[in-house]
Amino acid sequence: MAGSSFGTLFRITTWGESHGEGVGVVIDGVPAGLPLEQAQIQAYLDRRKPGQSKYTTARSEADRAHILSGIFEGKTTGTPISIAVYNEDQRSRDYTAIASCFRPGHADFTFARKYGFRDYRGGGRSSGRETIGRTAGGAVAAAVLGQLGITLTAYASSIGPVTCDPARFDRDRIAASPLCMPDEAAEREALAFLDDCIKEKTSAGGTIECRIEGLPAGIGEPVFDKLDAQLGKALFSIGAVKSVEIGDGIAASRALGHENNDTYQKGPDGRPVKASNHAGGIYGGISDGSTVLVRAGIKPTPSIARPQEMLLQDGTTGVVTIGGRHDPVIVPRAVVVVEAMCAVTVLDLLLQNASATMDNLRRIYPKKD
């Protein structure tokens, strides 16, 4: 089944395996007339690039985005934008070890069971490199949204047990931070925690938040294509995500109704202001014009340097130590992927909402006399 596409009006279709010729994406439904340069896409890809600190793997690839179609004289033409990133690190390696076992925490076993066999080189299609295509797609979506005054900001809100304090939220430090954390104190603590993980030959997970600001009210399509439903699908489609929360999320299940309801107050100028945003900017699956807040929980990296008892290709079990360098945490590299998937989701629903009312249609298609 064709599961490699996401979106209805704005649709990304990704392709490529870890150790094949490359990875890429076809981005279809891009509105025509958007100024777009390679550098805008490259900037997104650079944010997920490996080898940026000792906490992420050292595979040294340029991951350069090649734009193959859809742009003419610096503007989008309305036709599909095809982007390829060719794999450079394909040196012939000995995969015998990895081919003979199903790595714990990975999709080796399920791919083999689904398709009858598997591409055992580095995870094949379930590799993290698959996210390159999404990230490029998100860069294009974010460019469209940016022109309409809509911005997205994702960051690591926790690493292992260390959680950022919203009171110390500093947007400006996210980009430069090795962990993409907006809270300097939390980051120091997280770095120490990760050093311990490395020492203990284990790994950590964390949570990634994304704030979507400037989004007009009315985005999201009841009843199944709700904004939160599509965000949920988008984020769970990222490998390693095991939870998704909107607004207060899991905490809302324990709250009382009178605490959790977002009410309005008279603002200083007499105009109504929302007194809280427990709902994360979404009601009935539709944006309410305030900041949309979504949070994805990431499991600890499954590849660890410890010996583990696992299922073998021959049907028995055995204790194996998986070699190679491993990321003690993938959260920092996944931050831009979360942001990208949110951008793709929001843009698709924004396009869908453009034809929601007769008033909108009359604006686009004025009746000739």
The footprint of a copy of itself on residues 110-139 (CB under 8 A) is: 110-111, 113-119, 121, 124-126, 130
Q: How far is it, in rounded angstroms, from Cα 218 to Cα 228?
A: 13
**With respect to a copy of itself, which residue has the nearer C-beta, 15 or 169?**
15
User: By three-state DSSP, how is residue 163 classified?
Assistant: strand
324 binds a copy of itself (CB under 8 A): no
190 binds a copy of itself (CB under 8 A): no
Q: How far is it, in rounded angstroms, from Cα 145 to Cα 151?
A: 7
Q: How far is it, in rounded angstroms, from Cα 277 to Cα 291?
A: 8
178 binds a copy of itself (CB under 8 A): no
Report in angstroms how near the CB of residue 337 gets to a copy of itself at its nearest. 12
Task: Choose the stretch contacting a copy of itself; rule: CB under 8 A; options: 89-97, 164-172, 181-189, 259-267.
Answer: 259-267
Q: How far is it, in rounded angstroms, from Cα 34 to Cα 79?
A: 12
Report in angstroms how near the CB of residue 167 gets to a copy of itself at its nearest. 21
**60, 306, 324, 325: which one binds a copy of itself (CB under 8 A):** 306
Cα–Cα distances in Å, from 31 out to 6, 69, 94, 141? 17, 14, 45, 10
Cα–Cα distances in Å, from 150 out to 93, 145, 364? 45, 5, 21
**With respect to a copy of itself, which residue has the nearer C-beta, 50 or 124?**
124
**45, 84, 154, 186: which one binds a copy of itself (CB under 8 A):** 84
ω into 338 cis (within 30 of 0): no
**With respect to a copy of itself, which residue has the nearer C-beta, 60 or 265?**
265
Report which secondary-structure segment, H or E, holds 48.
helix 38-48
Task: Choose the stretch contacting a copy of itself; rule: CB under 8 A; options: 41-49, 50-58, 175-183, 284-292.
Answer: 284-292
Find the farthest-apart pair of alpha carbons in the chain and give their distance in angstroms, rounded.
79
Q: What is the DSSP letter of 312?
A: B
**With respect to a copy of itself, which residue has the nearer C-beta, 29 or 50?**
29
- What is the contact mask toward a copy of itself in residues 196 to 235, using x (rule: CB under 8 A)? -x--xxxxxxxx------x-xxxxxxxxxxx-xxxxxxxx
Q: How far is CA 50 from the centre of its chain?
A: 16
Task: Choose the stretch contacting a copy of itself; rule: CB under 8 A; options: 38-46, 70-78, 89-97, 176-184.
Answer: 70-78
